[in-house]
Each structure stands twice: as structure tokens, then as C-alpha cells.
Amino acid sequence: MSSQRVLVLPFPAQSHVNCLMILSQKLAQNGLKITFVNSDFNHRRVVNAMKTEEERETKLPLELVSIPDGMGPEDDRNDMAKLSLAILSTMSSEFEKLLEDIHGRDGRRISCIVADVNMAWALEIAHKLGIKAAVICPTSAALFAFELHMPKLIQDGLMDSDGMPIVKGEFEISPEIPKMNTADIAWCCMGDSTSQKLVYDYIARMIRTSHLTDWWLCNTVSELERGALSLYPKILPIGPLMKTHEIQTSSWSSLGQFWEEDLSCLSWLNQQPPCSVIYIAFGSFTMFDQTQFKELALGLELTQKPFLWVVREDAYGRDTKVTYPDEFEGKKGKIVRWVPQQKVLSHPAIACFVSHCGWNSTMEGLSNGVPFLCWPYFADQFFDKTCICDYWKVGLGFDLDDDKGLISRQEIKKKLTCCFKMRASGQGL
């Protein structure tokens, strides 16, 4: 087995890199040689985020390589339409060159490619070169099933051939899968109609290409998603993909992060009483305008509870620095730029998780028994919220202020207070 080399290709976004990096580390622990392929842009971020010079010099359990993503330094890589076009026009050809280069030196060969389902074009190259391949879905099996089901949804008249909803509102692809809403379909939330069509076309192509392999992996567990796994039995649940104790205690535990993890938050949590801290984190994409950011800050202040709040530098704009309201003192809280989230969620001081409901965060929160307060931003996060609140019943959502179109500080305080009362009484959410 030790001579087998697996090449792993994530979609160039933090949650996807996290998921496939953990899978890679687990494969490496089982004796496989791993080559992990990031975009050049993300490769630099991963290397720069390693905490110390010692960590950078530590022998890693896998090989890190990179290829261009086709975008310039000034381009917005959160623009899914532009990123999709760049991936197809540049990354696919660069990926093929990389494979040929690897095969051409030192007698090394790739035994298998594991590609993010959103990078399933790699299966075409693998097929051409005679390399075995698998796809992995870093989101829920239900969302994977929805995408696999799209041709039937078009045939049934729910969507048109461009992926746009014809019938609006709730729909189901199976009685055993939670209902979805056409307003929450991922590409329908992304820019103008041209961008939406580009993203839909990209996803539709990836789903068609995924049929080039019979190995469909998914970061889920059968106990959570029996309906989706029953509808598409080829989907193999291999989750939850979380760091083992060996990985968490290693010198390369943060490998794969785009930002340096602030470990001081763990010492701070050690000083807090059990089940007392509100943890707030919105992943790598969520943006706030100044008004909503202010309401969140003042809502936390109103609770008078300790909080750990992750605020990225670009939390509400690429070129704008976060501005806290004058009334916000934040004396009870700790604000950091990025954290080792799995360690945070397993800490006994954490009482609840205010989350964007990304699938990685959802799996980590569920695995640690932490109740959610759901604040989805885009894509699959709205469906994840539905599962958390309505089906698994381990979380609550926030209600918008109809007059202002935002979540008010009073609503934030109300839901957080409700969460603490229920936890204190031992009731579920």
C-alpha cells in the first residue's frame, strides 16, 4: 500500500480545502502517499497560515503542490461565476500538465485521483490518462442528491433548462428528504441572471462528469441522511471528516487553513465556566454591511454573557476594515480573526454556536452536541438550517425585522437568552 500515491484536488474554497485535507491526512495515516493540489493563490495562504517557522519546516504527512487558477491578484475569488469560468479555462489544462509532469519524473505514478465533486472535470483527464478516480462531496448527501436529480426536476417542470425555478416555493425530491425551497437554490443567490446561468452550467457539467466514476464519497453519516443515501445508494458516507487526536496534537494540525489560527482563544476558554460562552463564527464567505455588524455587536453586548467571536479582516468587504459601534465595549468577550474550530466546539465552556450553517461547521457542531443559532448566508447553508431547526431540532433561527430587513440586536438577545434557558433546564431546542 505504501507505494500507492493518491492525488487530491479540492474546489478552491476554505471549507472544501478543509474537508479534503482531513481526508488526505487520514489516508496518509493509513500508509498512502498523498499529493494535495491547491490553486497557487490558496497554496500561498495555506503556507503563510502555518503558525511558526518550526511548523513550516516540519516534515508534512503529504506533498503540497499548486497550479494557477486563471484569476489575477485583483480578482474576487468569491465571485463564483468568474471563478467557475477561470477553473475551466485554466485549471483543467494546468492540472493535466501537472499529472504528466508527475508521471514523467522519478518513476512516480498517480494510482488514484480524489476530486471534489465541484472539480469533477478532473475525471475526464483521469479517464484519458487511464487513472482511477473518485469524487467526494464536501456538503450534505441531500444537496448532492438534489444536483444528481436536476435532470428529473427539469423534466417534471420545476426548473427550466437554465436551472431557474419555474414553480416557486417548497419542493421535494423524495418524501424521505427534507423539503427544499426554490429561493434557496445555490446559483439563484449568486449575482445577476448571467452569473446564475454560468454557475448552474458549471454545476450541471460537474454532475454529468461525476458519472465517469462509481466512487461517490460524501462527508456525511447514514444516521443523519438515510433518505438521500437511499435515493442514491452509490453515495458512500465517510463522515464526519474531523481531525483525529493524533492530527490535532501534531505540529501540522492547522494544515489547510487560509488564516493563522489564534490559539489564545483556548486559554481564554479555559478560564470560563462550563456551558457559559457564546461562540460566533460565519465561515470564510459571509459578509456583513456596517448596519448588520453593529446590530450583532450590540446584541452580544445586551446578553451580558461571555462570547468568542471570529471576525475576519474582510468580514464585510474586501477593502473595508471592521468598525465596532461606539456603544460596544466587548469586555465580556474575546474577538479573534480565526480559530481551531474543532477544538473550540469540543471545549466544555461553549454553550451555543451562532453559525452560518456551512456543512463542515454543521458536522462539527453536531458531533460535539452544541446547539445552533442559525444565520445562513448563501448556497447550501439555508437547507442546512432547515435540517438543523426543523428536522434534527438542534437549533433555532433568527427572525428578520420586517421594517429594517435585518436581524436586530433585540432579536439576537432574545434567541441567545432562549438558548441559555433551555440549556439550563436540560430541555432540547
- Nine-digit cell string for 47: 503556507
Instruction: Check: CB of residue 309 under 8 Å from CB of residue 265.
Output: no
pLDDT of residue 317: 54
* Edge-first strand listing for the sheet containing 395-397: 333-336, 307-310, 277-281, 350-355, 372-374, 395-397
Report pLDDT digits (tens) over 230-250.
Answer: 999 999 999 999 988 888 888
Residue 255 lies in a domain: no
Residues 153 and 83 in one domain: yes
Residue 253 lies in a domain: no
**How confident is the model over 256-283, as a mean pLDDT?**
95
Report pLDDT digits (tens) over 287-343.
Answer: 888 899 999 999 999 999 999 999 987 665 555 667 888 889 888 999 999 999 999
Residues 178 and 122 in one domain: yes
Q: Which domain holds residue 58?
A: 5-237
Single residue among 188, 221, 237 that ends a domain in this structure: 237
Residues 199 and 104 in one domain: yes
CA angle 194, 400, 182 (to 5 degrees): 40
- Nine-digit cell string for 285: 464567505
Residues 285 and 182 in one domain: no
Report pLDDT digits (tens) over 359-388.
Answer: 999 999 999 999 999 999 888 899 999 999
Total structural domains in the chain?
Answer: 2
Percent of the chain past pLDDT 90, that is, above it, reads 73
Residues 40 and 105 in one domain: yes
Residues 271 and 321 in one domain: yes
Residues 161 and 12 in one domain: yes
Q: Would you place residue 1 in the very low, low, confident or very high pLDDT band (cuts 50, 70, 90)?
A: very low
Cα end-to-end distance, the chain, whole Å: 46
Residues 417 and 333 in one domain: yes
